[in-house]
Chains A and B, each alone.
Chain A
Amino acid sequence: MCRDRARLAVLSSLLVLGSCNDSAAPGGTPELRFNPAAIQLDTLRQQDAVIRNVGSAAVGPVRLVADQVRDPGGQAVFGPSLVVTPIEIATLNAGQERAVVLSLDGADAVQPGTYTVRLEARVATSVMASLAVDFRVADTSPMTPNRSISIVSGPASVRQGDVVSYAAEVRDSNDVVLPGEQVVWSVVPASAGLTQPDGRFVPYAASGARLIARSGGVADTLDVAITGRSLTGSYTSVGRGTESRRFSSDLWVTGGVAYTGTWGSRTVNGTTRFGNALFAWDVSDPAQPSLSDSVIVDARVVNDVKIRADGLLGVITHELSSDAQNGVTLLDLVDPLHPSVITRFTTTLETGVHNAWIDGDYAYLAVDGASPTSGMRVLDISDPQNPSIVAGFYAGSSFLHDVYVRDGLAFLSHWDAGLVIVDVGNGIEGGSPTSPVEVSRLRTAGGQTHNAWYWPAGGYVFVGEEDFNTPGVMHVVDVSDLRAPREVATFRVSGATPHNFWLDEARSVLFLAWYENGVRTLDVSGELLGELDRQGREIVGLDYGSGFGCPSSTSAATCTWAPQFDGGLLYLSDMNTGLWIFRPQF
């Protein structure tokens, strides 16, 4: 035995020394390069490139992320996008290379000019290589010296963020209007706003700007005065219900009761508590919320809580239970302050349910996993004592994170597969809750589609991209044609990533929970186009916490998970501190 021990000691010594030598090995670092180093596509729309690890150590995963396309003035344009295949490379060993296919989608829908899009190779938060891709959209209007152009309609004064339309007429040497002639719009300075091929213009800066219309070597200009959007607002604190033992998750408020879920593990004063609880708060007096009851389940994450429109039935999600039987629990809310368990349902949901939505007699569930048997499950809850799975849908790749159902349409936040619109009774594709049918899908730049809010009256879906490495973007998707969704705008706040949203549709005010950045309050009235954060549309931000950490077991830092606007009040769940109630004043 001891002889064996001696041999082991020798071996272990060598192993340890070898390990140290490896650690100290010179040049043991990866280095990535694109080849070619820059791409001039001109009027081509696709080209292959190569990414190579020229360093001396393996690296991965390498995520290939295309930024927004930018116009000659450096402004982000909406419509064209660089589609990259693959979007992630698992590993690149030293000396190894991988082919990358680059193709431009929607490039010719923009005005003539030369555009640039930057492709980055990211490893975690580091940009290890980048590639500039230029492409050109040709000006097809003939260079006719005797033609003329004049801007014939459109306002000379416009409010920041309002989309306005201009028209120009092109005439020949006989002063005859040439219908259908291409007109190229631009603005000086370029930072003043965004122009579109059809003459729409959205002003960014509250200043003067010169709008330019060009065609075949001639131009006309219009000086435009841009007034500030001048939105102001504030919040006053109304009340709060402190939960500092567990991290809080989602929120639902109805009929004077607020329900909050719980998440993760939290250790306070040496005691660890898990996300195994749903809390019911009496908020009939919003100034003094009081905890009325709780439901404890076998789970470590109760990520989501949703209440049926009649307020009588609720669903909470389970993940990481101790018996590996995850799923959902249906709650009887006849006594809303004291929820009681109807049943725990786990069949075909054992891997876990992350989010849920209730629409009529059905609960739509986001089931953990990334395979054809994962994705959305439709649970018939018409008989809550005996629920049953009646259908499923999976988008073919990545995983389903969240689901939002309205007007017979399910909006699936399907992570890197993008936003997927599914007919579950709308009729547009003949779908039903028992037979979901895909309508369309859109992968917004950056992927990581986390949550969505569909606004039928506005024709938009607000999409959250949960990216902790390069935060944080909300994408606006135009779904006026449900079969052809397209991204038309973004809203960015640096430093943190967005989480859940709530829209006050009557006033066109979007409340965005934004983790460490608290709540952002956005005016989404009218047509939405371009970079909303440059348009003076943010009414007010709300940062109510103190300290640092999101989530943090020990601090009271802002870490906003979910907002809900109800009865003139904004309710928030904060991971660190629980339930907050504010009165918006704007």
Chain B
Amino acid sequence: MPETRNAAASGGAVLAVPALLLGLGFTSCPAEPSVGARLYAASGFTDQVFQLDAASGAVLETFPLDVRRAEVDEPHALALDPRGDFWYATVAHGDPTLWKFEVGRDRLVGRVALGTAGAGRIGITPDGATAFVPDYYRSGGALRSQVAVVRLETLEVVDRLTLCVAPHDAQVDPGGSLVAVACSKSDEVVVVDVETLEERSRFAVDVAPGSPGSPAHRPLNLVWSPSGDLIYVVLQEAGEVRAFTVDGELRGSVGVGAGPAQLALSDDGRTMVTANRRDGSVSVIDVPELIERARLSVGVVHPHGVTLSTDARRAYITYEGDPLTPGGVVAVDIDQLETVWNTEAGAFTLGIIYVP
């Protein structure tokens, strides 16, 4: 374990008691993350995960996810084990892989080759036992590609589901019985039973979908409502978030900024934030009304990933940059609608998680 991380952990312990007093005693509650909260952001181009202090944006440490030093391996997505024991990362190039780290010590404890053409986001069952990793295979035209099913304790790929064209996101419902897959190049969502791995439903995200391989709406990512009744799907081409039932009934939609990539929903299900890749903005949405409360230009190139602090008062957005500019992370105060900090963190910066 690197010495710097030891120091950070010790510091966190010392600060924990003041944090407790702070929480009990103060009447003013500024939008601040939990003391000691960390952000982890994947730099797809420099083959690193950056660890940042959620309060200040300071880079605390970097972890290499560099299988091959002279190649770009492209760390893509990050996910936190719902039990808080491990965090996971996907690497999309070379042999696409899923990496497993201990929370706290940030020690690598395993890595499994997924046997897929790529690796997108990571959906984990609430018991932390199983992950679903779509391959986001963009080169297959209309070809249906795969979602790897991984037993996380032993890091074994137990199945590869051929579901749809270029699946990018797979998220498990709060009850842990269904996984919804966003099929980015076939304009559909496929819902699969976690236990049997059989398809439960499949629906188009619009009455006028594009053809397989040439999507008109490009559903990239999704989240479940806390009740598990609805799936919120972000449509990159349409610039919308739409709410569907598990059986594909449209329950609402809201326009957001141009080219939204990821979305995040607060634990109470009332606040949603999207990172709008094409216009450099962030949309803040009231849920379940699906009203865009605000749209804030965050002044960065290609916002991509988004996560929320536990109290949902801060949003943390990764930005990719482009072949001329670096990537990083920007923090936004959702109440004040202002940028709190902006930290450069590698390049082609994609996935992000918040670890309280």
Contacts and interface: CB of A to CB of B under 8 A. Distances in A.
A371 B12 contact: no
Contacts of B138: 324, 350-351
B324 interface: yes
Question: Taking each of A60, A92, A348, which has the highest tally of chain B beta carbons within 10 Å of its own beta carbon?
Answer: A60
A351 B137 contact: yes
Contacts of A61: 110-112
B155 A60 contact: yes
A256 to B, nearest CB: 29
A370 B117 contact: yes
Nearest to B12: A16
Interface stretch (B70-78, B124-132, B223-231, B279-287): B70-78
B69 A322 contact: no
A10 B23 contact: yes
B197 interface: no
Given A7-B23, A17-B16, A274-B323, 7 more contacts: A5-B23, A9-B35, A16-B15, A352-B93, A369-B93, A373-B145, A466-B68
Nearest to B15: A16
Given A91-B154, A91-B155, A351 B347 contact: no
A91 B72 contact: no
A58 B22 contact: no
Chain A interface size, as a band, is: 35 or more
B35 A12 contact: yes
A324 B236 CA distance: 14
19 contacts: A8-B356, A9-B34, A13-B35, A15-B84, A16-B36, A58-B102, A60-B100, A91-B100, A96-B154, A274-B45, A301-B72, A320-B44, A368-B94, A369-B139, A370-B96, A371-B137, A373-B137, A373-B140, A416-B95
Question: Taking each of A15, A28, A515, which has the highest tally of chain B beta carbons within 10 Å of its own beta carbon?
Answer: A15
A181 interface: no
B321 to A, nearest CB: 8
Contact of A8 (B140, B153, B302, B310): B310
Which 10 residue pairs are nearest across A and B when measured between Cβ atoms? A9-B23, A91-B110, A60-B110, A12-B34, A90-B155, A350-B138, A371-B117, A19-B104, A90-B112, A369-B117
Contacts of A7: 23
Contact of A373 (B71, B113, B143, B320): B143
B208 interface: no
Interface string A283-323: 00000000000000011110000000000000000011110
A481 interface: no
A247 to B, nearest CB: 10
Contact of B12 (A20, A300, A373, A397): A20
Contacts of B35: 9, 12-13, 16
B72 A20 contact: no
Interface in A56-96: 57-61, 88, 90-93, 96
Contacts of A548: none
A23 interface: yes
B72 A9 contact: no
What is the interface of chain B mostly: helix, strand, loop, or mixed? loop
B115 to A, nearest CB: 7
A486 interface: no
Contacts of A17: 13, 16
B103 interface: yes
B93 A298 contact: no
B289 interface: no
B207 interface: no
Interface in A39-58: 57-58
B326 A265 contact: yes
A10 B138 CA distance: 45
B156 A6 contact: no
B320 to A, nearest CB: 7
Contacts of B110: 58-61, 90-92
Interface in B83-105: 84, 93-96, 100, 102-105
B184 to A, nearest CB: 10
B23 A6 contact: yes
A373 B96 CA distance: 13
A22 interface: yes
Contacts of A6: 23-24
B204 interface: no
Contact of A60 (B69, B71, B111): B111
A369 B154 contact: no
A369 B100 CA distance: 20
Nearest to B23: A9
Interface in A547-581: none
Contacts of A273: 324
A140 interface: no
A57 B96 CA distance: 25
B59 interface: no
Nearest to B153: A93
Question: Taking each of B15, B23, B347, which has the highest tally of chain A beta carbons within 10 Å of its own beta carbon?
Answer: B23
A11 to B, nearest CB: 7
Interface in A86-111: 88, 90-93, 96
A6 B21 CA distance: 9
B105 A22 contact: yes
B23 A23 contact: no
B22 A9 contact: yes
A59 B311 contact: no
B336 interface: no
A445 B69 CA distance: 20
Contacts of B71: 354, 401
A299 B154 CA distance: 37
A350 B111 CA distance: 25
Question: Taking each of B6, B72, B105, which has the highest tally of chain A beta carbons within 10 Å of its own beta carbon?
Answer: B72
A12 B356 contact: yes
Given A19-B12, A351-B137, A8 B311 contact: yes
A23 B105 contact: yes
B271 interface: no
Contacts of B116: 369-371
Nearest to A398: B95
Contacts of A8: 23, 34, 310-311, 356
